[in-house]
Amino acid sequence: GVMEKLGLGPEVLLHENPRLIYARLTGFGQTGKYAKSAGHDINYVALSGVLSKLGRKGENPYAPLNLLADFAGGGVMCALGIIIALYERTVSGKGQVVDASMVEGLAYLSSFLWKSQNLGLWNRPRGENLLDSGAPFYETYKTSDGKFMAVGAIEPQFYDQLIKGLGLDSNKLPSQLSFSDWPEMKKLFASIFAQKTQSEWCSIFDQTDACVTPVLSFDDAPLHQHNKQRSSFIKNDQEEISPRPAPLLSRTPAVPSFKRDPFIGEHTEEILLEYGFTQQEIAKLYSEKVIESNKLKANL
């Protein structure tokens, strides 16, 4: 209801421009019991059902930062909704309202979890399944220098290469999918990974299909050879590093800005002037705290 209070609700703006795509991105959506309630990523992940799947055996569920609901189920799905509405407009000539709920966006994003419940992938308690740290071949392991390796050797042919790289004999090991042996296999793998540095393990598993990669820190990721070869990270004029825009388009790739990120409110006045607001109107918006300024001041 925030936009309605400003007199800028969809009914008003769509009346002015019936072709307008009006996107509303919220945690709980525009209707329902929680529609007007405050919340954060952890609450939306919880309500979607996904949080119940995240966490190790015997531990509380944990929220993976604020990536799932805010950015994936929220921002990305809202952007997709806008694109879909724009495409539909080419047929109907009409705009519409996009009601992007982070709860629903994440729930839809997790359709794989819902659709695969009867495939035996998630029929065990949390932390004991194939992809939730239950399997010894889908896990992270600490190296002798305190770093970590990520293992994702699900398919048999990849698992064989993992076993070979670890210096083990597959004929002397239990079956890959012997659930009862997974805890002991994890201990065995952990003891072996702890004997070499991350760099040493990379020299063993690089250029193989064992699905074993280093767990890179933010400092290390831009320096990794693969990421450097693809220019996956960029540096701005303040020497700050961030990911390059993705995905990479062949004909019209995104051209990233190498300037520092603007401060909130830094260009507010400039933009309003471009749109025809007078200085008096802008001053009134400042006084009513509708907008705020954050202009850089010289340090003299």
What is the sign of the dihedral through the CA atoms of 134, 136, 137 and 138? positive
Least confident of 61-65, 186-190, 228-232, 259-263: 259-263
Residue type, 194: A
Using CA atoms, how far apart are residues 198 and 203, in angstroms rounded to an integer? 9
Least confident of 60-69, 118-127, 246-255: 118-127
What domains are defined for the chain?
2-119 (3.40.50.10540), 138-215 (3.30.1540.10), 260-299 (no CATH)
Phi-psi region of 114 (alpha: psi -120 to 50; beta: other; left: phi over 0): alpha
**Eight-class DSSP state of 124:** S
Q: So what's the pLDDT on residue 290?
A: 87
Percentage of residues in the chain with pLDDT exceeding 90? 87
Residues 188-211: pLDDT tens digits? 999 999 999 999 999 999 999 999
pLDDT band at 298 (very low <50, low <70, confident <90, very high): low
Of 15, 40, 145, 206, the catalytic one is: 40
Q: So what's the pLDDT on residue 264?
A: 87
Q: So what's the pLDDT on residue 122?
A: 84
261 is catalytic: no
Residue type, 205: F
Mean pLDDT of 229-243: 95
Across the chain, mean pLDDT equals: 94
Using CA atoms, how far apart are residues 196 and 143, in angstroms rounded to an integer? 6
Beta strands in the chain (DSSP E): 21-26, 96-101, 138-142, 148-152, 212-214, 233-235, 241-243
Q: So what's the pLDDT on residue 119?
A: 86
Least confident of 57-61, 196-200, 262-266: 262-266
H helix or E strand, kind and range, residue 161: helix 156-165
Instruction: Enter the pTM of the model.
Output: 0.88
Q: Which residue has the higher pLDDT, 297 or 279?
A: 279
Q: Which residue has the higher pLDDT, 295 or 85?
A: 85
Report whether pLDDT(87) > 90: yes
Mean pLDDT of 22-37: 96
pLDDT band at 297 (very low <50, low <70, confident <90, very high): low
Of 15, 41, 70, 160, the catalytic one is: 70
Report whether pLDDT(71) > 70: yes
224 is catalytic: no
Mean pLDDT of 129-157: 97
Q: So what's the pLDDT on residue 118?
A: 85
